[in-house]
Amino acid sequence: MRSEEIKQEINKLGLAEKLLLVEDVWDSIAQSISELPMPEWQVKELDKRYHEYTEGKQNLHDWESVHEELRNKYK
């Protein structure tokens, strides 16, 4: 089935069906994520951040405090 035909079929679906389809597509992508290459710049950045973390040079924040700070900032 071609891309245009797929789009036409998707347009025939109701919202709930489209959401389920999106979920299925994301699940399918997640199963094959290891096939996606990571760019070299990203590998270097992750290595740098991990190295800083292991040396105690990173200021870490728990999820709750970050969430609270963002909520207060954008009220």
In a shared domain, residues 51 and 68: yes
Given this model, what pLDDT does residue 32 score? Answer: 86
Note the pLDDT of residue 35. Answer: 83
User: What pLDDT score does 68 carry?
Assistant: 95
Q: How many separate domains does the chain show? A: 2
pLDDT at 53: 93
pLDDT at position 1, please? Answer: 75
Q: What's the rounded Cα separation, in Å, for the pair 62 and 67?
A: 9
4 vs 39: CA distance, rounded Å? 31
pLDDT beneath 50: ranges in the chain: none
Q: What is the pLDDT of residue 13?
A: 96
**Structure token digits, residue 22:** 């999106």
Provide the residue range defining the domain that includes 48: 40-73
Whether residue 7 sits in one domain with residue 30: yes
